[in-house]
Structure 1
Amino acid sequence: MAVTTLRHHAVVLSLSGLFIACSDTSEPQEPPPPEEPAPWDGTYTPLVDPTDWVDRGAYASCAFTPPRGTELDCDDPGLFDLSQCELGSLSTVDSHGIYQIDLRHAAGYADFASIRVPRDGGTGTLDGFALSRQQLTGTFHVSASYNQRGVNRQLVFAGCAVPEPGLVTGCFVRCANGKVGSSGTFEAARMTWGRNEAESSGGIQLVSESAVALGMPADVYVHRQHAYVVSVDRLDGEVPGGLTVFDVSDPSRPVLTAQITLPGDAFWNAAWTKDDALYIASRSSGVFVFDISQPGNPVLVRNVPGGAPIDVHTLFVDGTRLYAVSPGPAPRGETLIFDISAPLNPILLNRFEASDTTSLIPSAHDSFAYQDRLYVNHFSSGYVIFDVKDPMNPVELGTYTFDTENSFATSHAGAVTTVAGKTIAFEGGEYQGAHLRVLDVTDPTNIPLIGRYKLRPQTSIHNMILKGQRLYIAYYHEGLRVLDVSIPPQPRELAYFNTFRESDPGRTDNLLEGAIGVRVPGDGHVYVVDTARGLLIFNEL
């Protein structure tokens, strides 16, 4: 992220060789506040998109020595050549912690992993699997052996150096059924707060925190002084997800009013309202419709579209239309359009797909409606723009795609507005390196990248809400981020709150941990759901 520093220069006024100075020795004066930047005039320099994961070359001067295909037990630190490493620096590594790991295979492609070693010395995890080796005292030797889809796998890490506090580099090997597979180097980032940050900055303050007992919180919608928090199931269904309702008429003291879950249908990922209707996206049942004429006591009315099971992941309401985005089971995912003139009785108007058939994961994920256009995040297919003025005949207008031959990028969420006569989209992906892109989508057939905002390469953003000239981002491990986007090519961080803490009960090694959902309903507060902490309410700047 580019950071602009304001420098105040003293001005000396000279006239006809005379030095003219005005001074006031009575009391020191406060420096004037920095001037507000001039309104954006719509000009910019198009940028080259480096995608989400950028190949920075080998991370360490070490290697796994046995060649590919060798039969052996890979979980042996002695198989790594660490002779060129700065092993003494590993003495600074803590004996516990959560790390997000960027793996660069020797062939030059990306891979990712996560580890967690508990503070109490209990068995840690690697991508959710139990660790078989967890040596983090004066060294960094970590491994896991597990069976995945019928294959016995091993992933082994050997630390080489600590180039800076909180960062470990080294080498790894992946093995399958007792044979050496791919190997390479890694960079592991400890998930403490980045940039030596404090808990918060910019005047944002935590007003209240409310635990959510159902599953893992995923989204929140605020309506009529009630917060509707939806959750997905956790621990392979052992802790089912569902709906948790809080009365937030006093944001400093939310009151739990309802908890709803359904047997066999416990993955509820998104929520939205329209008058007396609450819509919830279900992985199994499409869209649930609840009657919330009594806001604290939702009553299930129906699910739509009915018929065959359908996975609906996200929702967006625009006027009398409900857009429901489904990653499957259609081959490439699809978007459903409902007429919600009668909010409690949505009527399916149409369902459509993007034209892409070649991307690795061409899955519809999220959408944003703006001025008769629907902007759909199609994961590896990119950011796809449709004309939806006629819901019975959506027309694909254009796509922002990624050059991912030797990299990795996704389109996951977005928001759109008009600035200086141009239609501007704020768009972001998910998984390591995912960040905010600013796009000029005025002409959908020619979409340039005009700005970026990115934090650590090992973290990911999730959802975002645009409120006026401020963009609120739920940035997983990086917490809540508030940006001034009045000059779209130069997003400027105004404030943050680090919601992620390694010690929070329920924290896992998952990349998708931390601030996951955000809403700014205009009541003076910002509502965030954190995967472990539940519902957090902040003051709105």
Structure 2
Amino acid sequence: MRSPLRSRLVLLSTCALLLATLSGCDDDSGPTPDAGSQLPEDSGTPDSGAPDASTDSGIPDSGAPDASTDSGTPDSGAPDASTEEPWDGGYTVLEEHGDWIDRGRYAPCSFNRQGDPSTVRCDDLSRYDLSQCSPEALAQLDAYGIYMTDLRGEVPRSDGGTGLLPAFAGFMLHSDGGTDTMNTAPLDFRNTDGGTFFIGSSRTNPITGTTLTALAGCQVPSPGIITGCYARCINGSFNRAGTFEAHRMPSHRGESESSGGLRLISESPVAVGEAVDVYVTKNHAYVVSLDRISGTSGGLTVFDVSDRAHPLFKASISLPGDSSWNGVWAKGDALYIAGNDTGTLIYDISNPAQPEYVRHLPAGQFGVHTVLVDGNRLYGMSPDMVTLVYDVTSPLAPVLLQRITVPEELSSGGAHDAFPYEGRLYVSNGFGGYSVMDVTDLDNVRHLGQYVHGSFAHHSAVGTFAGRTIAFEGTEFNGSHLRVLDVTDPTNIVKIGEFRLSPVNSIHNLILKGNHLYAAWYQEGVRVLDVSNPTKPRQVAHYTTFRDGDPGRRGILFEGTFGIRVPGDGHVYVADSVRGLLILNEL
């Protein structure tokens, strides 16, 4: 599996390794399998915390000193959270089930895998037993759109039982003659006429070879959802089969574009790449982008947002050979950019409309994935298993203070992101889990505890509720969702709540503002949760950013709403990989 986005290289190497052991990594722009569970609700990165975006303090936002006493602004169109009983700090410890929960077979069909594996063809429709299926319902399908798909693989075990190998796929079908794809690769075949739904695509991986995945539709249990059977052949030989559930995007069919008073103020396309993060300071929005798979370079786009309803494009920057930029933060006249290729880039924004390059802070082979500022410290999280800490008392002249590493036996996937709070650093450590570090004394950094859920720890926000330290932790990959963890005692971290949306989508970045948790949720757009009772997060507003007709969509999991900021100026700033910079109202 190969991705042009350097930000994903470490994850992809993990994915390729899992592929070799039949785990089923399918999406070429990001990590491995995670699927999900039944519906309910949702999560996004630390925020500037500035009372006014034009006078940014550079302190990560973790809510009010005690978020449980801050009712925030009541949500128009949603119940007023302040009318609920205050949380008293009590909870029931919840069992950890991971992101993917087995919901049983998705459809009453099967694939005939009998025979020499080298002679079993996955593209042979006659091998699929569809006798209990509903061709009438399939005939009524609008056979176009973008679908995210949960693959429930079944493989025989040596003890005679059946093992499960969850995986995922995304496919895009056109009605206008455009190129149909699965995981960005063109379809080898498509038969979606007269009550038949049969599609397949081959992809070549340098480790595993050529993999053909074929989907045969069986039923339409509800509008926008197709279930059926799938089979996978590798290098011409049968590998595995199972059932699938495909959700057309946006996955919550019948849901309005927005709710709870959340509305779009303005939309501005970026000049370079795919927008993935945004930072707002000095009345300017700085949007960073990854390289596009088509070859278009990423970089930085600058907007003057003095008039939030009419942002003005000011500048775009892209450096040759160093343009895959994944995160952004600012302090004073310094803009810090997480570069996947080389490390942290520093720009002088004393003239906010025209950033000037100052220098690089070099990192390891895979650069820096995310950056954040906490007081006079700059943290740069690197997939090379290290968090770099700099003194930024002089913002344009950082001085390296320390290299923080999670114990090697607890690390897998690198330091993907982190959140500083009250002398501790909460590190989202990929497949290694969620780690808590004492960073009060950088000469004596201590690992205090860890929560491992078996999923990809991606991002978090931490605050105080009813005197307890609560972490809102989001994973990544399909079915990834929000966990609520009591981290008051890092040696005994427990799950006390969770919030799920679709089993085929993924949460991404989080911002905690008082009792509101703002979440960037890829194709699900922006979701706002009332977390005044952390054990029962509930959605109070949403804005769906996904639109079928937007040019540049690729039909993959890692697409849509990536970055989110709520700097306290009355607005929500969203970096969307397809639509660019979206500005919403703050609740």
**Separation of aligned partners in 2, 1:510 and 1:529:** 17
Structure 2 counterpart of 1:177: 235
What letter corresponds to residue 249 of structure 1 in structure 2? S
More helix by percentage: 2
Cα contact 1:221–1:229 (8 A) shared by 2: yes
For residues 184-227 of structure 1, the C-alpha deviation after alignment (integer angstroms, 9 at most, x for no partner) is 11111111350521000011111100011311101000001000
State the one-letter code of the partner of 1:366.
D
The aligned amino acid for 2:172 is R
Residue 241 (structure 1) aligned to one of 295, 298, 304:
298
Residue pair 2:250, 2:524 contacting (<8 A) in 1 also? no
The farther-off stretch of 451-460 and 76-85 is 76-85
Provide the secondary structure at the position in 2 that maps to 1:458: coil
Q: CA deviation at 1:323?
A: 0.8
Deviates more, 1:55-64 or 1:241-250: 55-64
- Provide, for residues 445-469 of structure 1, a one-character-per-residue CA deviation record: whole Å limited to 9, x for no partner: 1111111111110010100111111
Contact 2:517 2:530 in 1 (8 A): yes
Q: Does 1:59 align with 2:106?
A: yes
Number of the residue aligned with 1:526 = 572
Identify the match of residue 46 of structure 1 among 81, 84, 93.
93
2:137 aligned with 1:80? no
CA separation of 1:482/1:264 partners in 2, compared to 1, >3 Å: closer, same or farther? Answer: same
Residue 380 (structure 1) aligned with residue 436 (structure 2): no
| Structure-1 separation of matches of 2:314 and 2:107 | 53
Displacement of 1:132 after TM fit? 1.2
Change (3 A) 1:356 1:449: farther
Quote the offset at 1:33 in angstroms. Answer: 7.8
Given the alignment of the two structures, is residue 144 of structure 1 paired with residue 201 of structure 2, yes or no? yes
Q: What's the CA shift string for 1:281-327, capped at 9, x where partnerless?
A: 00111100000001111001001146x65410011110000111011
Match of 1:269 among 305, 326, 336: 326
Q: Larger Cα Rg: Structure 1 or Structure 2?
A: 1
Q: Measure, in 2, the Cα distance between the counterparts of 1:214 and 1:134.
A: 34
- Alpha-carbon contact 1:62-1:170 (below 8 Å) kept: yes
CA distance in 1 between counterparts of 2:94 and 2:330 reads 38
1:370 aligns with 2:421: yes
Quick one: distance in 2 between partners of 1:303 and 1:503? 39
SS in 1 for 2:83: coil
- Say whether residues 1:503 and 2:549 are aligned partners: yes
Alignment of 1:314 onto 2:370:
yes
Paired residues of 2:341 and 2:367 also in contact (CA < 8 A): yes
Q: 1:401 & 1:146 partners in 2: Cα distance? A: 32
Root-mean-square deviation (Å): 1.7
Deviations 1:61-106 (A, max 9, x none): 2121133723254212122111222332212321201111111111
Q: 1:37 aligns with which of 84, 89, 98?
A: 84
2:255 aligns with: 197
Decide whether the 8 Å contact of 2:485 with 2:494 is kept in 1: yes
1:2 CA drift (Å): 5.9
- Is 2:123–2:214's contact at 8 Å kept on the other side of the alignment? yes
Give TM-score, length-normalised by structure 2: 0.83
Higher mean alpha-carbon deviation, 147-156 vs 420-429, is at 147-156
Using the TM superposition, give the Cα deviation of residue 139 of structure 1 relative to its aligned residue in structure 2, in angstroms. Answer: 2.5
Which residue of 2 is the match for residue 286 of structure 1? 343
Whole-angstrom CA distance in 2 between matches of 1:70 and 1:193: 37
1:68-467 counterparts in 2 under 5 A?
Answer: 69-106=117-154, 107-137=163-193, 138-149=195-206, 151-235=209-293, 238-305=295-362, 309-328=365-384, 333-357=385-409, 361-402=412-453, 404=454, 409-467=455-513
Aligned to 2:9: none
AA paired with 2:476?
E
Q: How many residues align?
A: 501
Take 2:176 and 2:40, find their aligned partners in 1: how far apart are those partners?
Answer: 39
Query: What's the counterpart of residue 7 of structure 1?
Result: none
- Partner letter of residue 78 of structure 1? S
Shift, 1:38, TM fit:
1.9
Q: Is the 8 A contact 2:304 2:313 kept in 1?
A: yes
CA distance in 1, matches of 2:546, 2:40: 24
Q: Residue 492 of structure 2 aligns to a residue in which SS?
A: coil
CA distance in 1, matches of 2:437, 2:497: 23
Q: Deviations over 1:21-75 (max 9, x none)?
A: xxxxxxxxxxx98971121111111111221111112111212113372325421
Letter in 1 for 2:304: D
CA contact (8 A) 1:438 1:450 kept: yes
In structure 1, list runs of 5 or more residues that go unmatched.
Answer: 4-31
Partner amino acid, structure 1, of 2:544: N
Cα–Cα, structure 1 residues 35 and 345, in superposed 2: closer, same or farther, change >3 Å?
closer
Note if contact 1:356-1:381 (Cα within 8 Å) is conserved in structure 2.
Answer: no
Corresponding residue for residue 29 of structure 1: none
CA distance in 2, matches of 1:516, 1:35: 30
What percent of counterpart residues are identical? 50
The answer to whether the 8 Å contact 1:338/1:347 transfers is yes
Q: Which runs of 5 or more structure 2 residues have no equivalent in the other structure?
A: 1-38, 42-78, 155-162
4+ residue runs over 6 A deviation:
32-35
Tell me the SS of whatever aligns to 1:411: strand
**Counterparts of 1:447 and 1:147 in 2: how far apart (Å)?**
41
Which of 1 and 2 has higher RCO (CA within 8 Å, sep 6+)? 2
1:384 maps to amino acid: S
Distance 1:371 1:34 in 2: 26
Measure, in 2, the Cα distance between the counterparts of 1:339 and 1:214: 31
State the Cα deviation string for residues 225-274 of structure 1 (Å, max 9, x = none).
000000000125x1000000000000000001110000011110000000
Structure 1 distance, partners of 2:421, 2:354, is: 32
TM-score, L = length of structure 1: 0.90
CA contact (8 A) 2:224 2:253 kept: no
Separation (CA, whole Å) in 2 of partners of 1:2 and 1:476: 16
| Structure 1 residues 347 and 174: alpha-carbon distance in aligned structure 2, compared to 1, 3 A threshold | same
Which residue identity does 1:466 align to in structure 2? L
- 1:393 deviates by 2.3
Q: For residues 278 and 125 of structure 1, what CA distance do their matches in structure 2 show?
A: 38
What is the distance in 2 between the residues matched to 1:268 and 1:34?
38
Task: Tell me the residue number matched to 2:515.
Answer: 469
1:15 corresponds in structure 2 to none
2:579, 2:80 → 1: CA distance?
Answer: 37
Q: 3-state SS of the aligned residue for 1:109?
A: strand
